[in-house]
């Protein structure tokens, strides 16, 4: 079925306060009841766009830490920023602060050994999540894809960023990727800390010690935030529920930006259904610059069905689009580590903030608008005449789809 004309997205001015409040409450109650994790009030959020904003904010907090630093990352590759983080973590550990660093055994395997040695010598507790060669093939496929930094139990960060030179800069060219991270203050910090603790517990004997203060959080802002954890498992998991709720609850507009778009047929059909019932569905994906061409081809296999349903697909031109963002109806947003692919929805450990806040969502929507200006739409007529060679490449990755 071809989509009807999308319902117009109301502007901030004509979105009455009561209507926005009702939308937020509807999403909040669905998420709380279906995921079983309470949202918290009183959070202060700061959107950080690209390495130029993300890394100084994170490093500033690390360097000012007085009690504890907990950091987990999927990617820890190379470059000046990798050295800066190692030096900052080592300096705090040498000063007597408890510093814990959790690295994914696959994603962070390119870390420079001398950085590990320096951190170890300074007293940083480094743990590896499921080093591939030590595991069964089943466990190897389930990675810790979460990105989180928690400092002194009061400030936390999560989002899409990896620790590598690719994320430095301001998305100004293909060597500097586009990404979004969030700084959190308030009670939602606990949820991010719990995500760290969940994975740390698998890799280390000591879950907490007398340096953990378990503080009471005071309200810092107005944002309502639910911290949702995806966990590697067989069967339906919370990350799928989260995105399913956002898609089925959207009334006017559902926006997605993702680095890796290769969902299963269920989520393709759900995107199509959402567009067919009149919601404006926009998808922003990497274009000519992607570090995982097989994943891009797996997603492109579904473009024709999505376009036929009325989904608007754009490809980001200047560099790799690595942000993982969803906004719904100007009132709700998701931001965190979760891509729109089977790795994130079926296989890996993930963390996502579900934020119910118009101001925060407006900032993400504003950034999305700016990203759209640097993107090219996929034209349905031209896509239907794409070369046979492209179609064959899409088919060639079919056996890999469940792992992408």
Ligand X SMILES: O=P(O)(O)OC[C@H](O)CO
**Nearest residue to 343 via CA among 103, 142, 130:** 142
| Alpha-carbon distances, residue 353 vs 217, 234, 242 (angstroms) | 18, 23, 10
For ligand X, which is the closer residue by CB, 97 or 177?
Answer: 177
Q: Is 68 exposed, middle or buried (0-12, 13-18, 19+ CB in 10 A)?
A: buried
Query: Please, which residue, 181 or 253, has the CB nearer to ligand X?
Result: 181
Alpha helices in 95-237 (DSSP H): 113-122, 137-140, 188-203
- Give the separation between CA 154 and CA 145, rounded to whole angstroms: 23
- Residues 64-83 vs ligand X: string with x where CB under 6 A? ----------xx--------
Task: Count Cα neighbours of 361 within 13 Å in the Cβ-side half-sphere.
Answer: 26
**Is the Cβ of residue 72 or residue 356 nearer to ligand X in the bound state?**
72
Which lies closer to ligand X via its Cβ, residue 221 or residue 286?
Answer: 286
Q: Angle 365-369-370 (CA atoms, 0-180°, nearest 5)?
A: 120
Residue 162 interacts with ligand X (CB under 6 A): yes or no: yes
Contact (CB, 8 A) for 349 and 229 = yes
β partners of residue 313: 283
CB of 163 to ligand X, least distance (A): 11
**Nearest distance from residue 319's CB to ligand X, in Å?**
12
Q: How far is the CB of 135 from ligand X (least distance, A)?
A: 19
Rounded least distance, CB 200 to ligand X, Å: 19
Per CB under 6 A, 379 contacts ligand X: no
Closest CA to 110 of 137, 82, 88: 82
Least separation in angstroms between residue 157's CB and ligand X is: 14
296 interacts with ligand X by CB under 6 A? no
Q: Nearer to ligand X by C-beta: 145 or 367?
A: 145
CA distance 126 to 71: 10
- Among positions 140-159, residues that touch ligand X (CB under 6 A) are 145
Binding status of residue 291 toward ligand X by CB under 6 A: yes
Q: How many residues of this chain interact with ligand X, rule: CB under 6 A?
A: 8
Pairing of strands 261-262, 340-341: parallel
Interface of this chain with ligand X, residues 310 to 339, rule: CB under 6 A: 339
195 binds ligand X (CB under 6 A): no
259 touches ligand X (CB under 6 A): yes
Question: Per CB under 6 A, does 345 bind ligand X?
Answer: no
Going by C-beta distance under 8 Å and a sequence separation of 6 or more, which residues neighbour residue 10? Answer: 252, 330
Q: How far is the CB of 145 from ligand X (least distance, A)?
A: 6
Nearer to ligand X, 156 or 307 (CB): 156
Residue 110 binds ligand X (CB under 6 A): no
- Closer to ligand X by Cβ: residue 189 or 259: 259
- 265 touches ligand X by CB under 6 A: no
Task: List the end-to-end C-alpha distance of the chain, in Å, as a whole number.
Answer: 28
Give the residues lining the site for ligand X (CB under 6 A). Answer: 74-75, 145, 162, 259, 291-292, 339
């Amino acid at each position: 079925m071809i989509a009807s004309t999308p319902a117009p997205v109301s502007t901030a001015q004509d979105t009455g306060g009561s209507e926005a409040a009702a939308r937020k409450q509807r999403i909040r109650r669905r998420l709380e009841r279906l995921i079983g994790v309470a949202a918290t009030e009183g959070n202060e959020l700061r959107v950080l766009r690209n390495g130029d904003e993300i890394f100084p904010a994170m490093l500033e907090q690390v360097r000012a830490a007085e009690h504890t630093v907990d950091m987990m990352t999927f990617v820890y590759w190379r470059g000046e920023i990798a050295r800066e983080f190692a030096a900052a973590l080592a300096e705090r550990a040498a000063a007597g602060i408890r510093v814990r660093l959790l690295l994914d055994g696959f994603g962070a395997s390119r870390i420079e050994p001398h950085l590990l040695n320096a951190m170890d010598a300074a007293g940083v507790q480094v743990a590896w999540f499921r080093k591939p060669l030590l595991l069964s093939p089943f466990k190897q496929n389930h990675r810790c894809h979460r990105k989180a930094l928690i400092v002194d139990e009061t400030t936390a960060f999560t989002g899409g960023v990896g620790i590598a030179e690719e994320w430095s800069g301001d998305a100004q060219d293909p060597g500097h990727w586009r990404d979004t991270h969030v700084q959190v203050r308030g009670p939602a910090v606990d949820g991010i800390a719990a995500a760290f603790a969940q994975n740390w517990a698998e890799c280390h004997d000591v879950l907490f010690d007398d340096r953990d203060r378990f503080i009471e959080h005071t309200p810092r802002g107005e944002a309502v935030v639910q911290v949702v954890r995806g966990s590697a498992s067989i069967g339906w998991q919370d990350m799928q529920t989260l995105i399913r709720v956002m898609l089925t609850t959207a009334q006017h507009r559902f926006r997605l930006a993702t680095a890796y778009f290769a969902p299963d047929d269920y989520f393709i059909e759900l995107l199509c259904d959402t567009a067919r019932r009149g919601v404006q569905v926009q998808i922003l994906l990497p274009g000519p610059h992607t570090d995982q061409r097989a994943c891009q081809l797996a997603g492109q296999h579904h473009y024709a069905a999505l376009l036929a349903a009325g989904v608007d697909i754009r490809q980001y031109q200047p560099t790799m689009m690595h942000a993982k963002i969803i906004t719904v109806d100007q009132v709700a947003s998701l931001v965190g580590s979760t891509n729109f692919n089977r790795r994130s929805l079926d296989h890996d450990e993930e963390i996502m903030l579900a934020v119910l806040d118009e101001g925060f969502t407006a900032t993400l929507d504003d950034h999305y608008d700016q990203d759209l200006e640097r993107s090219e739409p996929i034209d349905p007529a031209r896509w239907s005449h794409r070369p046979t060679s492209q179609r064959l490449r899409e088919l060639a990755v079919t056996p890999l789809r469940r792992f992408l």
